[in-house]
Structure 1
Amino acid sequence: MTEPTPGITEAAGVDRLRAGLKRRHARESRFRTYGLLAIAISIGFLLLLLGRIIEQGHTAFYAHTVTVPVYLDPARIDRAYPAGTNFEKLVAEQVLVRFGVEDDAAETQATAMRRLFSSELKYRIAERLQRQPGLIGETLPIAAPMSDEADLYFRGQITRATPSIQRRLSDQQLDWLDRMNAEGAVSAHFNMALFTNGDSTEPELAGVAGAVVGSALMLLVTALIAIPLGVGAAVYLEEFSPRNRLTDLIEVNINNLAAVPSIVYGLLGLSLFINWMHLPRSSPLVGGLVLALMALPTIIIATRSSLKAVPPSIREAALAMGASRTQTVFQHTLPLAMPGVMTGSIISMAHALGETAPLLLIGMVSFVPGIPTGIDQPTGALPSLIYIWENASERAFHERTAAAILVLLAFMIVMNAAAIVLRRRFERRW
């Protein structure tokens, strides 16, 4: 029988045990506190980032128009070609007359008044007269879209206290805007042009439609190439390939490729697809090919992990029933691994959607005003459009940058939510 240690009583041993437990519990409590604090800080930074983006970009989702009565003077309108009429000057002169400006001064101030209206005004009136030429000679209420600077004034982002060097509107122009607002002629409405227009050099006319279509076409090309190749490669490496040095080398390189910076894939796409294969620059085809190369390692790794998660008993049971190895893989193993495969594929597509560096190197940073209709036409993408707008000199483009970021985040949230739903819907626990 072990003799008790001299000088240590039973009560002292219990006290030491309790003190040790107390220290362990205190360390555990501190660790939990540090973990909760780290989570709280992360959530705080995330909310701060989202709050700043929403604060800066929410104003881009509405625009202002001013409704003014305009006499469509037959002497100044070409009935055969209404679009050739200077409707901006026509509206500006009539507004000045309503404000009591003398005829001799109206000619000199018409230019300043015209700058308060968007160039979209002339196209709206011309389209209306082309549909209804009988309106020429009548006085109609025209909802004139405001220019970017006038719109910023009504949103409160430009005030009279703003130094004149930081705004393009003079004090007289601000007086005109205040008078229009006081008369109740100014109204705000949802900015549908943000979602229906392509890019433009005028901020009030710029929209994300071209970039959204370009990103969708790129993701289509990426999915059609990366998913079949990635899943096929993963199935072969996991289920059919022999275990030797060559396959080990391939697996190591696939894992390394997943960590390669995206700009390297952009350089590869520039030299391979554009300089060597002479594919159309700035097209969704080239962008999709580059993003497919970047997404392949992620899809392969995710698919292999899903295949490994299938219990070996499934394979053994299928083989015992007389199924071939190919039948076992494609009729039993792969269907059971499909939730993980779909999740990895969707997440890789969402990651590719937000990439910017490869797109800049293949020329998708160029100004493209239209909306593409094919994968071989020059276009932009949401990440590159955000880059272009953020570097624009006009103040109004900055709020549209934040709005485009919100649109991009919405797409990524939807894709990640779809991955979570699919995984929970089809996932099986073994």
Structure 2
Amino acid sequence: MQFEAGQEFARKLDREDPLARFRDEFSIPTQANGSPEIYLCGNSLGLQPRRARDYVNQELDKWAALGVKGHFDCDFPWMPYHEFLAEASADLVGAQTDEVVVMNSLTVNLHLMMVSFYRPTKQRYKIVIEDHAFPSDHYAVESQLRYHGIDPADGLLLLKPRAGEDLLRFDDIAALIEEQGDSIALMLLPGVQYYTGQVLPMAELAELAHRHGIRIGLDLAHAVGNIPLQLHDWNVDFACWCSYKYLNSGPGSVAGCFVHRRHAQNTDLPRFAGWWGHDKQTRFRMENRFQAIPTAEGWQLSNPPILSLAAIRASLDIYSEAGGMEPLRRKSEKLTAYLQFLLKREVNQYISIITPEDPEQRGCQLSLCCDAKHLSGRELFQRLEENGVTCDWREPNVIRVAPVPLYNRFEDIFRFVDILKTACNE
């Protein structure tokens, strides 16, 4: 599509947007003067769906009226509540419903998955992650290595961009696997790299890993609800994600987990077991012989927090009403391309974009580096905030901007770049 400069063109795009009505489904933060913020931070915390308040209040009312009976005979009973989220979650990640479960937090789920899928031997014991992994992933992997008595200096392989580059190349990953594949037990990589916004070739990585006898897991914190996923068809072993970014479920909300059916049905697979992962038919016999549920639910530990699940259900319902990821992805690509067009036109001398230009290699996030000699990236970020823009700063020098198709408008993009240009020129 050919874009044009000017605010009226942005308003024209908004008038033609078939998803425009979904903005009204969300509470938009306001500035001190009462006008809406330009909120471009859904990659850190998604906005609150208006119906989340109603869904959570329904459970509070149920608790008040029914007490413990709320677990059973009522609308959305608590006992199977997590099951009400399975179909929509599976649709978002391209899975079968028995391959997904909503439980715990992201890092807890990564640890639980590594208990089952990181089984080091004397020969095959190394773990591959990217050099600039999100710190919690790095901490989790290092602690797993140490738990097994392996020095991370020996057991951790870090994927790094080439000198002078910001992005990972598949050829370099393949070269590392070809060289050290016999010693690698696990690859744990992001679907979308949090710092650069690069989408990794997940299907190709899964095929590469399995060709060398390596298990592969994905951290989808910045991918789920952002880009289309096909975890089952890609043959990924496991994946984990949080739900408070693009899934708009509230700060610290319950995370999600995928286990491919070929593993989930293996109830003998080693795991850290808990009561909620035990066979549903015999759970309340209170016997002490664990029998795992032969689905992803078999990795559950405890009954989940219902109030958090209610907020997730509110967001997932909106995704379903919007038609799922296909129409959202179409708008997202258009929003991000429009943002790229304006950035190159208006502030190209001050800003460089380290996110891939190819739409297939990025989601909605663009990562910006400030190149202005008179202004640091941190100062620029502060000026944006002072002018009603909420985006995200990441050390050492990146402003992450994420126009989310469910609630961001093209006019948001125009106003953001206009404010950015003014700040750069001051």
TM-score over 0.5 (shorter chain): no
TM-score by length of 2: 0.21
TM-score by length of 1: 0.21
Considering fraction of residues, name the structure with more strand. 2
Considering fraction of residues, name the structure with more helix. 1
**Higher relative contact order (Cα pairs below 8 Å, separated by 6+ residues):** 2
